[in-house]
Amino acid sequence: MPVLTIASSKGGPGKTTVAMLLAGSLAEEGLRIVALDADPTQAFARWAANAYEGSAFQSYAEADETRLAHLIDSTASNADVVIVDTAGFGNRAAAVAMTSADAVLVPALSGEADVTEAEKTIRLAEGLARAARRDIPTAILLNRVRRTQLARHAAQEIETAGLTRLETSLSDLVAYGELSYSGRIPTNGTAGAEITALLAELRQRGWLPHATAHRQEPAIHRRHEAP
């Protein structure tokens, strides 16, 4: 089943927030989600274990590239979607996660450094895909967007670099920041609409399966240390 890796060699563009939004929203739809936290800070796994309040999904914290590779291998067959959150610097675990991915999502803020590092990440993913002789689509997700000339300029820069950008973007909303403490995935208002649009666009690209009938048991989250 699809392995979606969320990567960027720059810290702070919202990789973990996007991973939270996707894992929580897809689990709520009844999909069997496995979340792999390859960031040594373990922010995603900690959130999943301590704060998250939605439908259950499995999460593992594993930053070692060898164990991560085996973990992706072993979990992919039993999950509807595997979401891999990676660390915000160029590292081997992220490279392995991109090589094993069916798609790579690269969140980026509007600043020059974010766009530059997003491009580097995508070029690396393209090289890994060539070496693996696979098509691993990539796309940039603009995050914390304010409807300003800066955001339009960033979008233009991405286009000029020949990179794929999702039409959906995530706005600079308090709801996303609160998520790390509240453990609740926004379902209403602008945030809810943006998350719905993000899922729809990823499905349109074939990156995510459609919701299924089998629903997870609610509330209690199962956290596993990587074996």
Distance CA 149, CA 141 (A): 17
Residue positions counted in the chain: 227
Distance CA 24, CA 187 (A): 11
CB-based contact 38:97 (threshold 8 Å) = yes
**Identified binder of another protein from the candidate list 53, 73, 167, 178, rule CB under 8 A:** 73
Give me the least distance between CB of 124 and another protein, in Å please: 6
Work out whether 145 is an interface residue with another protein (CB under 8 A). Answer: no
**Identified binder of another protein from the candidate list 50, 53, 112, 132, rule CB under 8 A:** 132
Work out whether 224 is an interface residue with another protein (CB under 8 A). Answer: no
Site for another protein in 85-114 (CB under 8 A): 87, 90-96, 98-100, 102
CB-based contact 27:215 (threshold 8 Å) = no
Q: Which residue has the tokens 């509807």?
A: 80
Give me the least distance between CB of 75 and another protein, in Å please: 11
CB-based contact 141:106 (threshold 8 Å) = yes
Q: Say how far residue 89 (Cα) sits from the centre of its chain.
A: 15
Nearer to another protein, 1 or 161 (CB): 1
Work out whether 65 is an interface residue with another protein (CB under 8 A). Answer: yes
Size, binding site for another protein by CB under 8 A: 34
Give me the least distance between CB of 89 and another protein, in Å please: 8
Distance CA 67, CA 53 (A): 28
Nearer to another protein, 110 or 121 (CB): 121
